[in-house]
A and B are shown apart, each in its own frame.
Chain A
Amino acid sequence: MSNEIEAIKDPGLPAHVHRKADTDPVAEKRAERQVAILFLISALGTLLFIFAYYFIPEDVFFFFPVLGNTNAHQLFLGLGLAIALFFIGAAAIHWAKTLMPDEEVIAMRHTLRSDDEDRDALVATVKERAGAAGLGRRSLIKRSMGLSLGLIGLSPLVLLRDLGPLPGDDLTKTSWKAGTRLVTDPGDRPIRPEDLEVGAVAQVLPEHVGEERRHLSDIAKDAVLLIRLRPEEFQLSSERLSWTYDGIIAFSKICSHMGCAVALYEQTTKHLLCPCHQSTFDVPRAAKVIFGPSARALPQLAITVDSEGYLIAQKPFSEPVGPSFWERSS
C-alpha cells in the first residue's frame, strides 16, 4: 500500500540510559542501604504487630485524629501488619528499580497458528483414530451411548429435588385467621384501639400460641402495620372501609415489590415508603402505589375488635402477601 511506504519510520528502540547506581559506586551503595532500611522498617512493623497482639489491651479506646474514637489494640495490630507487608514490597521494588538489571530486552513472538502440515496431520490422526473406534459405523452403540449419557445428565436434577419442599399454599397463606388477635411486636401484648393515637403507627403480629418461638418464616409473611388516621381521612370503597376500625387501618408490612419491610411512615403526607426500592404507598387510599417500582397495593387486613375490646382480624388476608410469583392470580 502506498500509505505504508510513506508512513513515518520506526526509529527503533532508543539507546539504553544507565541509572546512577549502574555507574556510580557511591549511588550503588546508597541504593543498597535504602533497600536494607526498607526491609528493617518492615521488621519493625512485625514487632509492632506482635506487641499489639499480646500487650495492648482490647478495651482501650483513645482519640486519634481523623479516625475519632479508636480501639488501640485493633489499630496498632492492623498498622503493624500493614507496615510489615507494605515495606517488604517497597524494598523489593526499590531493589529492582535501582540495582537489578533494567535493560529492555526484545523477544520475538511466534504466530500461534500451527503449520498447515501439523494441522493436516492432526485432522488425519483424528479421522484415523475415530475411524478405528468405528463410531460412525456402529450406530447401535452411538445411539445407546447418547441415551445413557443424556439420562445420567438428569440425575443431578433428581438428586437436588430434596433441597426443599414444594411451595404448596405456603406463599398464599399466612397465620392470620378470623378472630386472631393482633399483638405488639416486640412484646406480644394484645392491643386495644385506644392504645393507638391518631397519627400513630405500630407493628403487630398474629397472637402466637404454643411453646416454640415464632419462626422467622412466619414473621416474613405475618408482619402487619397498624396506622391510625381520622376516619374522615380515608378515601376507601365501602367494603375496604368496613375492614378498618375507628380510623385504624392494617396493611401487610411485607412489600408487594420484593418483600422488604415497609418501615417508613411519613405522618404528614400519610405515605408508607419501602426503604429498599422506594415504592411509596398512599395510606388513605388503601396503600395504593403512588411512586416506585411496586405494581400492587399492600394487601389490607380486615380488622375489628372482639368482645373484650382487643383488636382482631375479621378474616385472613384476601390475597397473598409479599412479592409476586408466577402462580399468583392478580
Chain B
Amino acid sequence: MTARERVAGTVANYVDERTGAAKWMKKNLTKVFPDHWSFLLGEIVLYSFIILLLSGTFLTFWYDPSQREVIYDGSYVPLQDLHMSAAYASTLHISFEIRGGMLMRQIHHWAALIFMAGMVVHLMRVYFTGAFRKPREFNWIIGVGLLTLGIVEGFLGYSLPDDLLSGTGIRIAEAIIQALPVVGSYLAFFAFGGAFPGEAFIPRIFTVHVLLLPGIFLALITVHLMLVWYQKHTQWPGPGRTEKNVVGYPLMPAYMAKAGGFFFIVFGVTAFLGAVASINPIWLYGPYNPGQVSAGSQPDWYMGWLDGLVRMAPPLETYLFGYTISWNILIPGLIIPGILFTGMALYPFIESWITGDKREHHLLDRPRNVPNRTALGVMSLTFMLVALINGGNDIIATTFSLSINQVMWFSRIGIIILPPIAFVITKRICLSLQRADRELVLHGRETGRLLMLPHGEFVEVHEPISPELAWKLTAHEQAPALALEDVDARGVRRAGGLKNKLRKRMSEANAESIAKPNLSDLKEIEHH
C-alpha cells in the first residue's frame, strides 16, 4: 500500500464511522446515467444558476439598494452632476470604477438569459419527449414553478439598476397591480410604500431578489435533482433499452468528468459573452424619471411575450357603479398567463386522463409518434411566438419600415388563427414522418444506386436497415383510443355524458397514427 492509499483509507474510515456513508457512496458512485445531448439542457440551467449565485454575490459587494437621491460624481462624464438614485449611481460605480465590475455585470445578465432560455428549451425537451409522464409529474410541476419564479426573478434583477428603462418596466408592473379589482390600489401602495415610485421599492425587491427567491430556487432545485436521482433518468428507446432498465455511463469517473467539465464550458461561454457582448448598457438610458421614457422600450425576452399580449389587447374597460375594471390590462397581464401556466402545470394529468394510461414510463417518446401532443406543443409555442413578436412590434416596424398598426393587426389576428394552423400542420408532419419510418422499415434505405433490369426497367436498389434501427423505429406503443361508451352494459346512459364525449373525442384524436410495421408485414414484403 502506498502512503497515498493509506491516507485515503484513513479518511474514508473516519468519515464512514461517523456517517455510515460507505454503503450509499458505493451504490451511488456507480449510478448509471443515460447519455444524450438533450439531457444536457437541464444541466445548463443548473450551471447558470451557480454562475448567477457567484456573479450576483460579487455585485452585492458594491451595489447600494437605495432610492435615496445622490448627485453623480463618478467617472462617466455624460452623467456627471445629475441627480439619481444611489442604486443607479452604485451600478455605474460597479460598471466604471470596479475592475471586473462591468464584466461581472454582463456575465450576470447573460447568465440570467441563458438560465431562462435553458429552462424553456429543457421544458420543451421534457414536453415533446413525454418525460413528464408518471412517475415524473411532481418534477414537471416543480419545473413550471421554477420557470414562473425565474421570470419574476429576472424582472426584479434587471429592475435593480433603477435606470430609465427598468423604471419604466416597474411602472408597468405597478399598473398591473393597480388594475386588480377591489384590492389593486391598496396592494400597489403597500408594495411601493406609498405612491409610485416612492423610495421603498428598490430596497424591497433587492431582498426578494438576492435572498427570498434564490432560497426558494435552491430548495426547489434540490428537490428536482433528488427526484431525478431517485427515479433515475429517462432514456431514449433503442436496442437493449427497456422500461425496466437504464443504460448509460456510471457516475464515476466518466459522467462526473463530463458533467463537471460541462460546468466550466457553460461558465466559459458565459464569461466570453460577458467579455465581448455588451448587454443592458444602463449608462446610456440615464436615471429613472417617471416623466421621461426612451423610444423602443423593451423588456428582456422572457417578459416580451407578456408585454406583447398587453400591447395587442383591445382597449376595453368596464365602468360599473363607480368602479373600473381594466380588461385591457387584466386579460393579457394576468388572466391569459394564468391560464397558460396552470394549463401547463396540469398537462401531465390531462394527458393521462385522455389516454387512460396510469403506468410508469421511463422510455422517451419520439415526438412524431405522439402527433397530438407534439402538435399541441407547437401550437402553444406559436401562440407565445406571435405574442413575443408583438412585444417587439415597434422595433420590427422601424427595422422593416412597416407601420406599427400593420404589425399590431398581424399579431392580433395571427395569435388567434396561427396556433390552430400550426397544430394541423404539425400533426400532418408527424403522421408523414411515421409513414416515412414505416417505409424505411419495410423497404429499407434508398441507396441512390439505379439498376437496369434485363427488360429495360430502371429500379433503385434498397438496402435493408439494421435490426437496431428497425427496433428503434418500431419500439413505441400504439395504444388504441379508449373505448368509452355513452351507455353502459345494461343500456343506461352514463353520468357525465358531455365530459365522456369530450374525453372520447380527444382520445380518438390522440390515437390517430400510421400503423407501425410488425414482423408479419416484413414477411409479407419478402414474399413479393
Binding site for B on A (CB under 8 A): 3, 6-14, 53, 58, 67, 71, 73-75, 77-79, 81-93, 95-97, 100-102, 104-109, 111-112, 160-161, 163-167, 170-171, 185, 203, 205, 213, 216-217, 219-223, 253-254, 257-261, 263-264, 273, 275-279, 289, 291-296, 322-330
Contacts and interface: CB of A to CB of B under 8 A. Distances in A.
A220 B250 contact: no
Nearest to B51: A85
9 contacts: A3-B518, A10-B471, A79-B272, A79-B276, A102-B249, A102-B254, A164-B189, A258-B310, A324-B324
Nearest to B404: A278
B254 A112 contact: no
B190 interface: yes
A7 B477 CA distance: 10
Contact of B264 (A13, A92, A167): A92
A77 B275 contact: yes
Interface stretch (B287-295, B349-357, B377-385): B287-295
B135 interface: yes
A217 B293 contact: no
A326 B99 contact: no
A76 B317 CA distance: 54
A81 B267 CA distance: 9
A222 B195 CA distance: 13
Interface of B: 30-32, 69, 83, 99-100, 102-103, 106, 135, 168, 171-172, 174-176, 178-186, 188-198, 200, 231-232, 239-250, 253-255, 257-258, 260-269, 271-272, 274-276, 288-297, 307, 310-317, 319, 322-326, 328-329, 332, 360, 362, 393-394, 404-405, 408, 441, 467-468, 470-471, 474-475, 478, 517-520, 522
B189 A221 contact: no
Contact of B186 (A84, A112, A166, A293): A166
Given A112-B135, A327-B323, A259 B475 contact: no
Nearest to B272: A82
Contacts of B190: 160-161, 163-164
Contacts of B265: 85-86, 89-90, 93
B185 A327 contact: yes
Given A10-B475, A90-B265, A261-B292, A78 B275 contact: yes
A102 B35 CA distance: 11
A49 B83 CA distance: 35
Contact of B197 (A3, A217, A322): A217
B197 to A, nearest CB: 5
Contacts of B103: 74, 77-78, 81
Considering residues B245, B254, B325, which has the most beta carbons from chain A within 10 angstroms of its beta carbon?
Answer: B254
Contacts of A100: 253-254, 257
A223 B323 contact: no
A167 to B, nearest CB: 4
Contact of B326 (A160, A171, A324): A324
B295 A254 contact: no
Nearest to A49: B100
B271 A326 contact: no
A160 B313 CA distance: 34
A205 to B, nearest CB: 7
A179 B362 CA distance: 76
Nearest to A289: B315
Contacts of B197: 216-217, 220
Contacts of B272: 78-79, 82, 86
B264 to A, nearest CB: 3
B267 A106 contact: no
Nearest to A11: B467
A93 B262 contact: yes
Given A10-B475, A11-B471, A82-B271, A323 B178 contact: yes
Contacts of A10: 239-240, 242, 471, 475
Contact of A106 (B183, B246, B254, B295): B246
Contacts of B291: 185, 203, 205, 219-220, 222-223, 253, 261
A120 B106 CA distance: 56
B290 A223 contact: yes
Contacts of B181: 326
A92 B264 CA distance: 9
Contacts of B267: 85-86, 89
A257 B178 contact: no
Contacts of B271: 78, 81-82, 85-86
A296 B239 CA distance: 65
Given A11-B239, A74-B102, A82-B269, A92 B258 contact: yes
A86 B268 contact: yes
B317 A296 contact: yes
Given A276-B172, A329-B319, A258 B329 contact: yes
A268 B430 CA distance: 52
Given A277-B311, A329-B324, A170 B195 contact: yes
A91 to B, nearest CB: 7
Contact of A105 (B99, B106, B247, B288): B247
B168 to A, nearest CB: 6
Contact of B194 (A3, A170, A328): A170
Contact of B268 (A6, A87, A161, A217): A87
Nearest to A68: B278
B172 A259 contact: yes
B31 A7 contact: no
A190 B109 CA distance: 43
Contacts of B241: 13
A109 B276 contact: no
A51 to B, nearest CB: 12
A260 B102 CA distance: 29
Given A93-B257, A220-B290, A107 B319 contact: no
Contact of B168 (A111, A260, A279, A292): A260
Nearest to A224: B291
A92 B246 contact: no
Contacts of B258: 92-93, 96-97
Contacts of A108: 244-246
Contacts of A296: 317
A279 B315 CA distance: 9
B290 A254 contact: yes
A219 B289 contact: yes
A264 B297 CA distance: 12
Contacts of B192: 164
Given A164-B193, A216-B290, A294-B328, A323 B261 contact: no
A96 B185 contact: no
Contacts of A88: 261, 264, 268
A290 to B, nearest CB: 10
A292 to B, nearest CB: 7
A325 B268 contact: no
A10 B468 CA distance: 7
